[in-house]
Amino acid sequence: MKQKELDGYQEFMKGLWKENPTFVQVLGMCPTLAVTNSAINAVVMAVATFFVLVGSSFLVSALQRWIPSQVRISLYVIIIATFVTLADYSLLATLPAVHKQLGAFIPLIVVNCIILGRAEAFASRYPVKYAVLDAAGMGAGFFLSLTMLGTVREILGTGTLFDIPLFGKGFEPWVTMILPPGGFITLGLLLLLSNWVTKKRAEFLKQVAAAQQEGL
């Protein structure tokens, strides 16, 4: 098998939109639905995931030569779990209030399939530079989608954004939005939006191409 040509910029950018882990790959749904009931929770969760994703992709890629393929998944899990523990303790020491809110979901980053997925599908096959760029892109895409969900749900569900009240006293919070059903509804609508935009964009590009051909 020939090594495919890599472009660092492309490897980073694909995670943001074209292969966005949440909206396109639909991976990591558990934290996506569970901790996006406020913007700050979503942001902290995404930053912790970003850290674990980049750290473990770096190590998996750097050590690929020495990892026996028979035990590779167990080794990936050890690497990921170590990074998660680092993130867990650092959060507990620096942001105890947010850590309390996120509860069990920080340790559960270990089983987030985006991380193991990138380690197995990308980091273990490509050089360190591209593995880190790929992980950073995926992490950034996860950050974007989680922040979008968290923002929408917090504004509708509590009438605040990052705990700053947006509306006057007359605002009646739409409590459902911060409960699990609100997570599913918001995610569904955002998936719809992202698919619609992708479709429109493809149609537009097609039209441009057709117009250019006619012009020739």
Partner 1 sequence: MSDNQVMEKEPSNFTLIFSMVLAGLISGVAIIGVYNATLEAILANKAHDLQQAVFRVLPGVSKMQKLRFEHDKLNIVTDTLADENVIYAGYDSAGKLIGYAIPNEGPGFQDTISLLYGYMPDKRKMVGNEILDSRETPGLGDKIFKDLDFVANFKDLSVDPTIVAVKKGKKAKPNEIDAITGATISSKAVVRIMNLARERWEKRLPPPGGEPELKAN
What residue ranges bind partner 1 (CB under 8 A)? 1, 3, 37, 65-68, 70-71, 74-75, 78-79, 81-82, 85-86, 89-90, 92-94, 96, 100, 103, 125, 127, 157, 173, 175, 178-179
- Nearest approach, Cβ of residue 63 and partner 1 (Å): 9
Element (H, E) at 164: strand 164-165
- Integer-rounded Cα Rg, in Å, for the chain is 20
The residue written with tokens 């923002």 in the block is 151
Q: Would you say 3 or 213 has its CB closer to partner 1?
A: 3
CB distance 41 to 102 below 8 Å:
yes
Residue 7 β-bridge partners: none
Cα-Cα-Cα-Cα dihedral sign, residues 28, 159, 172, 190: negative
Torsion angle of the four alpha carbons 37, 156, 181, 112, in this order, in degrees rounded to the nearest 10 = -30
- Nearest approach, Cβ of residue 18 and partner 1 (Å): 25
Q: Would you say 86 or 185 has its CB closer to partner 1?
A: 86
Q: Would you say 1 or 164 has its CB closer to partner 1?
A: 1
Contacts of 57 (CB under 8 A, 6+ apart): 118, 119, 122, 123, 131, 132, 134, 135
Q: Would you say 129 or 200 has its CB closer to partner 1?
A: 129
Q: Would you say 15 or 183 has its CB closer to partner 1?
A: 183
CB distance 154 to 161 below 8 Å:
yes
- Nearest approach, Cβ of residue 194 and partner 1 (Å): 26
Contacts of 27 (CB under 8 A, 6+ apart): 21, 112, 113, 114, 117
- Other Cβ atoms within 10 Å of 175 Cβ, number: 11
- Nearest approach, Cβ of residue 178 and partner 1 (Å): 5
- Nearest approach, Cβ of residue 26 and partner 1 (Å): 24
- Nearest approach, Cβ of residue 87 and partner 1 (Å): 9
Q: Would you say 1 or 216 has its CB closer to partner 1?
A: 1
